[in-house]
Amino acid sequence: MITDHRPRSNGGSAPALGAHRRSPLGAHRGADAHEATIEVAPGAVLCGDLTLLDQPAGPRGLVLVAHASRLPRRDPRNRVVIAALSRAGLATLLLDLFTAHEKVGRPPAEDAELLSQRIVAATHWLREQPEAEALTVGCLGVSASSSAVLLAAARLPAHIGAVVCWGRGGEPAAAALRAIVAPVLLIVDGHAEDLEHCFALRERLQCPTEVAVVPGATHAFEHFGPVQRAARLTTDWFTSHLSVAAPIPQPTGRPLA
């Protein structure tokens, strides 16, 4: 278990992210960020920001950041995370899991099954993009999207190479958890209820799993001190498990349909 015992302030501000002519997420020098629209089902179009890196060796992998909130996807928390991943040489897709219509209506925040299907569709879309088709994909879920990310990893064991979940979400069925082969990092607050849930989830996962505790974080990871700490842990996890040449463990059982 990874634990950060050092006290950190919840105040302060997010690191300044330089503006980009096409997207405000081009924080890393040499980043090529542009908006993407992905049709994940008939009539269901999601918007996202695809940030690629212009460097000799190419990106070390690509992280799909699953955003499931009424808040704009380019909120300060996500900007901190995208900047950290880009600095580490990782391409990113910041994906809004809700359509524009759902954001003004009633988003299906509790429907992990539906959101996971959208993550799966977006991952297939990435495989069709010339700039990203050779990259190993990792998935980051925060609170409401954590369960959806785990379900997507169960459905795509040959395509998703690493997973990070921030905060406490729902818990997928045991069959889905057994199908996950990608290494999983669970980042939670230090509250006893969160820890109990997290360790119970780790016991049910059969893939390599670590638990990281970030004291002072809320369920939504709203404060910048914990966000910066969690972003560093997330970046370390993905840089350790994602690379162009990294083989993805093959499942021992049949993946979920």
DSSP 143: G
Name the pLDDT band for 89 (thresholds 50, 70, 90).
Answer: very high
> What average pLDDT does this structure show over 184-208?
89
- Measure the CA–CA gap between 193 and 6, rounded to whole angstroms: 21
In sequence order, the 6+-apart residues with CB closer than 8 A to the CB of 128 are: none
Query: What are the tens digits of pLDDT across the range 129-144?
Result: 998 888 999 999 988 8
Name the pLDDT band for 120 (thresholds 50, 70, 90).
Answer: very high
For residue 252, the model assigns a pLDDT of 45
Closest CA to 199 of 12, 3, 47, 11: 3
For residue 35, the model assigns a pLDDT of 93
Name the pLDDT band for 85 (thresholds 50, 70, 90).
Answer: very high
Name the pLDDT band for 175 (thresholds 50, 70, 90).
Answer: confident
Q: Where are the domains of the chain?
A: 2-9+21-241
> What average pLDDT does this structure show over 20-36?
55
- pLDDT beyond 90 at 55: no
In sequence order, the 6+-apart residues with CB closer than 8 A to the CB of 42 are: none
Contact indicator for 255, 30 with CB cutoff of 8 Å: no
Contact indicator for 201, 221 with CB cutoff of 8 Å: no
DSSP 23: -
Q: What percent of the chain has pLDDT over 90?
A: 50
Confidence (pTM)? 0.82
- pLDDT beyond 50 at 188: yes
Query: Between 149 and 14, where is the model more confident?
Result: 149
Among 7-11, 66-70, 144-148, 219-223, which is the least confidently predicted range?
7-11
Q: Which pair of tokens denotes residue 79?
A: 């900007």
Beta strand 184-188 pairing with 160-166: parallel
Contact indicator for 1, 210 with CB cutoff of 8 Å: yes
Mean confidence (pLDDT) of the chain: 80
> What average pLDDT does this structure show over 223-240?
92
Architecture of domain 2-9+21-241: 3-Layer(aba) Sandwich (3.40)
107 phi/psi in degrees, rounded to 5? -60, 145
For residue 115, the model assigns a pLDDT of 94
Q: Taking the mean position of all CA atoms in its chain, how far away is CA 190?
A: 21
- pLDDT beyond 90 at 104: no
Query: Between 255 and 166, where is the model more confident?
Result: 166
Distances (CA, A) of 28 to 19, 32, 80, 129, 214: 10, 9, 12, 21, 26
